[in-house]
Structure 1
């Protein structure tokens, strides 16, 4: 199967690399000169489709876990924030830093630097994946214990983690390589590959988890195995695309030496972005730990609400990835005002989409909850409904802050998104302490604190970008 963009000409194999480089140059020129709205929409459309398919993958995983029982759902709720942290770091934080660095290099017409950044991106992906696997092996049980669960739910979470984290190098290599391709302005190919990966993960996870046909029923561990295998296939396809020159970057013209400056270019943005993502995930992890103290049924109900909150991240990523590359190219070319215009256009579009989803579920939470829960599971349903009615109306601000985070990655200015995340976690934790200890609101008090944190997150980042203008 070919992953060539629809508007690309038919290319003879001999001239494929040179023609790909020309197409890549034309994409960069569109970033710098094309009308903002239509260009952004064209770039974001394939990403958005891919993210919706990824959302379907996540929904199917929760559905399969639901067929295994409340304990499996509770275990998935415990491990899911750490899985999403891996996704957020590989695709959004470090992935966005990779796209941004390559886009800025191409905006400055430095193709040699862009090629060097590709190799650096792969080195970082393997190193971080190995580090995360080691850390989880050493501290996984302690993390789940801190979250307040030492029973069957923790054992389910550990079974999932035992497969996912040793295999997460497949996610890191897949997302890092797709980020390289996005940095060249090609959004179609990464989107298509993610669609195929996500579509393949669903039947693989179901087969290994529930034992379809000749496959063994591995339970919750099988869900992780299906995802890891699908991303491994995607990583191989993405690597082949780049190494054969189809991304428009040549890695064969001479020896590429990964210099400290190239590592610094990615890590300067990537570490700040990773810290920001970690704060976002930490906020939800801490809420999971607090809700776990209200019982397994409450944890299962909140876990379904938190899962949708996590799914807002890949939905915003659909627009955010396009903004990262567009803003990066314009910043590299010295067009700051145009970069800001791109940021505001895309961020308000993303916030509007996320806000509309939130309002819908605030009024009709069972549209989501009944996918996973039966009417007889009254307590998890009640907790899930309370979550959506309290938190979902504030999804607009979460979407606004998150989209500006992606735009700020493109600009290489990550201070204010980090400040926004710090404000969010401090207000959420402080609010939880106050509402749980000083009122009789119970778990609903936790949800009110989450909503306050979301509001602060969006408002702080938006005001900071408007005032500072990334200077």
Structure 2
């Protein structure tokens, strides 16, 4: 009993240190402790990111199937924005982590500024398209006229304000690369609190604020994320993290920018491949009606709640790989990946059992409509069957990115998503007439394939030789 108490006391002490961000040396000492110190705040950070989806889904579900479907279609398009943001953030994390491992904090700060410049430029282009063509975008996704009429305002605001998404991801990537994962976590907690408060106010109306319906969810989320970005900038400029930016750093540096683009292109490519696959899957799902689409949309948002913590552990592995390669300790980098992969697989295995048992109960939190619950629960169960593979696969793929080898995951994603998943989903769902079930199995099989190929490729060890 005394031994167990000591273990619990030590875990609590580590947890407290991880949350406060006091532990920032990850290139020496216990690998298990380093994984824990980075994973805890990163897991909480990613959970906070997924809370955006769940809160919006919960309140919008009161507005009916069309509103939920509009959110789902918009989010599927928005995943292309996430693809660019996450792809860039991979490059940022890899470069910042490598500079920090080399003890070059000034170089890390300069990379941070160039990433912000690049994010603003890309987001501006997407904003113009989102503001001018929201109805056409929903139409391309297969939405019917009444759904477009109800939901285009949501699309317009979220795409128009996508700079908040872009910068939130990029600046948090700077913090993660520096090992300041707790800072990124606190930013998203702040943002989510705002979103939780503002969502019902703008959706249903309160006092002088009129009821905006589904459009209100986009307004609340954009305000929440925008406020978080301002918080991030304050942290950067006032030096409340390891990375401090001053006015003299706000200049264009072509060499750093080109290096950032070079490292990020693979990351952007791999996520555009993955997320465009999701867009096409959503387009196939639109063939089966608003109720089926709504059930799938809710299920994906619920799945994201547990995929995000898994993504957090994967980001921890990426940071450990980058910093340890920068410190010329490749074997320690590899050990970090295998340990994190094991922990992630165990976590995902536990979650998969939970979904298999409680799928219907989870869906009924969001809707009482029979078809929505039926298809949402079915997609939860089928996709969760591959969760253990997701756990290992995510860590391995992110480790390539942490090393700056963004090309390898791009090739893997291209083969598994475009060559395998999309043709299989189309053939199974529409040709073989399996319906939505064909799409669900396509998702699971593709993710299992990614994990298997990723592990085989990782063992070859060529990622250790990448320079950034």
**1:256, 1:240 → 2: CA distance?**
14
CA, structure 1 residues 248+303, in 2 after alignment: closer, same or farther (shift >3 Å)? closer
Q: Which residue in the other structure is 2:109 paired with? A: 115
Q: Which residue in the other structure is 2:376 paired with? A: 384
| Contact map agreement 1:423 1:453 (CA 8 A) in 2 | no
1:329 aligns with 2:346: no
Of the structure 1 ranges 173-182 and 125-134, higher mean CA displacement relative to structure 2 is found in 173-182
RMSD: 2.5
**1:213, 1:427 → 2: CA distance?**
52
Q: Deviations over 1:420-453 (max 9, x none)?
A: 2223222222212332344342222222222221
**2:89, 2:433 → 1: CA distance?**
43
Q: Which residue in the other structure is 2:253 paired with? A: 259
1:436 aligns with 2:429: yes
**1:468, 1:254 → 2: CA distance?**
40
Q: Which residue in the other structure is 1:191 paired with? A: 185
Q: Deviations over 1:369-388 (max 9, x none)?
A: 111111xx111222112212
**1:165, 1:440 → 2: CA distance?**
34
Question: How much has 1:47 moved relative to structure 2?
Answer: 2.1
3-state secondary structure, aligned to 2:142? coil
Question: How much has 1:253 moved relative to structure 2?
Answer: 8.8
Q: Which residue in the other structure is 2:38 paired with? A: 43
| Contact map agreement 1:312 1:399 (CA 8 A) in 2 | no
- Structure 2 length-normalised TM: 0.89
2:90 to 82, 92, 96: 96
Q: Which residue in the other structure is 2:389 paired with? A: 397
Question: How much has 1:187 moved relative to structure 2?
Answer: 1.4
3-state secondary structure, aligned to 2:288? coil
1:295 to 289, 294, 317: 289
**2:307, 2:83 → 1: CA distance?**
8
Q: Deviations over 1:380-415 (max 9, x none)?
A: 222112212322201222332222222222100122
3-state secondary structure, aligned to 2:386? helix
**Between Structure 1 and Structure 2, how many residues are aligned?**
448
CA, structure 1 residues 123+384, in 2 after alignment: closer, same or farther (shift >3 Å)? same
1:412 to 391, 404, 413: 404
Q: Which residue in the other structure is 1:465 paired with? A: 458
**2:198, 2:286 → 1: CA distance?**
30
1:244 to 238, 246, 259: 238
> What pairs with 1:40-189 in structure 2 (closer than 5 Å)?
40-90=35-85, 92-137=86-131, 140-189=134-183
CA, structure 1 residues 155+458, in 2 after alignment: closer, same or farther (shift >3 Å)? farther
1:218 aligns with 2:212: yes
List gaps (5 residues or longer) in structure 1.
9-22
Q: Deviations over 1:258-285 (max 9, x none)?
A: 3322113322232211221222222221
- Structure 1 length-normalised TM: 0.88
Of the structure 1 ranges 293-302 and 309-318, higher mean CA displacement relative to structure 2 is found in 309-318
Q: Deviations over 1:165-211 (max 9, x none)?
A: 22222222233222222222111111111111112111112211121
